[in-house]
Structure 1
């Protein structure tokens, strides 16, 4: 009766004890497989396993170890790793102890069975005083795995004694414009976890910015205590396509604290930045929503701008030509040269659009009087030279656009140089 009472009292302690399996299929080799961490054991939690070979003799060469296999679990095992060797001195005969460790991360709850691990080796058997080549295996190892309490259904647990979440910052003084790139780096670091078990972050796509995500970088290393540390780094780049304010929501990672047996969360604050542009914000919104229509609008606008530029260049060229003709006209007037003045007037008439480049019939008022004075001077024998005012009136009448018509009528034919 006391034995049963003692057994019931020790059951909680037995649940926390290490799981061990021992096999002695060969008289000279003892295979021992044990979990180095006491329970309870959780899904995705790290389970360090120690494999021990005790030889009644001395190992010759290397141990050929088959990859440990466990269904529904991640087994971290380095095939190139050598066994650690030590000698256990006893009174009757010494033993050589070979040890090696690997890690298991169960992926589901329930009872998991680690299949026997086969090994081939050659050792010197002291009792028989000869070398023996044997194949040995560990005994199956059963592990009871549970989900962390309060963990949401449908999500893979993250079990670790310590986790940190960080991200890079954006300089508030950066003068961001349309077309600039904003790169953010998020990092998750957890002890006792392989990097491939760390979750991916939900980085949103932003309206008005193109998103480019680099593949996540996974790193595994050991800390000063020899414990594994996993690190997952994610980098995302946003190309700003329109001015405005952009915000990435806060990022959160939930995890089960193995040391304190409770659910915790790590969080980083939201990231916000502003971008300006040479055009108003509504233009970029229209471009993002109706790109084809905006592209057609820009093509038409470019053609109109090109036409305006061409006309402006022609106008500038015409203005220079007109200034040259005016200078020539007044030089001819100063020299009292009717032929030079007539050439300038004919050039004005020829440079105007409108049919045969004819002057309107019946120039009125002072313009007509100025033209008569010019003809008397150019063709007559006693005509006095026109005054400066008359010369100006005549030039102004010829330069006016409304003074040209396609109707037949009076035209300048001032071949008068030989008649002076």
Structure 2
């Protein structure tokens, strides 16, 4: 089986990415649903062919870490037997569909998008003209249910809406309203939009995402090229506040238990524990983009939630660690200059006090900002000399302060806790002058 190894690439199972702890193999699981047997099989793959660590990505994919060149062929053979391996690495690279994880069981959803996910996935596999899309290009389908999806991060998003006389999808391009389509036209419309994007960008492959193109020619130009109808003039950003997903939720005939994964990182034993729990209640697991996995069943006894908490899963949305984002960091990442997850865990008690909700603190081991590509109230960027700091911006933005060690960072964040956000920049400069940093 042919293999292409790359650094800094969006990994797949056929085209893994080399990192500091070995190869990263990403599994794109259509719809994000895992039976107990499949979850146990993936856990065994992580243990037998990697270092036992698994990342749940912001696109609801599972990434097996620490795979070696020696173990990769056997892993690929096992994934093929499980139905998790694509035939073509180019098709695999663009099968990026993020969809509502509770589709089919959420009674508040506008419609069941399961068939739409399958048809779009098949279109991406088979339409070779679309294989020119960037591996970062993201399609999103939101069923309109109780947990709104982060549509602003998607290149092409379909949001289910209840209309008269029929349901339809509102279409957004990089978070901007662009038109609508009938429910049964989702796959065809997605393909037309993607083809229009490729045509309009021409030979300029530096334009990799829809946002790159809309910044140059606007949203309407792409919508018109794809033949979209109903294009509002107002271009509104979608809300990207993460919903409160942790804990128990009663959804019609189902009970859903949202289990937080610290920094999106779990090990093979933790996934095996989840599989056993799902089997105990005759349920299944659903992957989400919110650093959480849903346990879905007809009934879930409260005692099970307690056992999952004891096993290391987070059930409280107010837990400090939920307010902080951190990448793999050093030594797992080749680019990482700092041990970002260890430092983030150390800073977590302060993080929740920095903002009332959402990600308050982003600790990135380098300027790429993989764990949280959007601005955060406070962002730390790892350097060989310590951390640079930015406020209300992202990891790639110009630092306000440079070269802070962890004790200094802690003291500064303690001051931020009692300071209004608008005054933090002034306070930070004063602090550094007084501390002679």
| TM-score (normalised: structure 2) | 0.18
| TM-score (normalised: structure 1) | 0.18
Report 1 or 2 for greater relative contact order, CA contacts < 8 Å, sequence distance ≥ 6: 2
Task: Give 1 or 2 for the bigger CA radius of gyration.
Answer: 1
Whose helix fraction is larger, Structure 1's or Structure 2's? 2
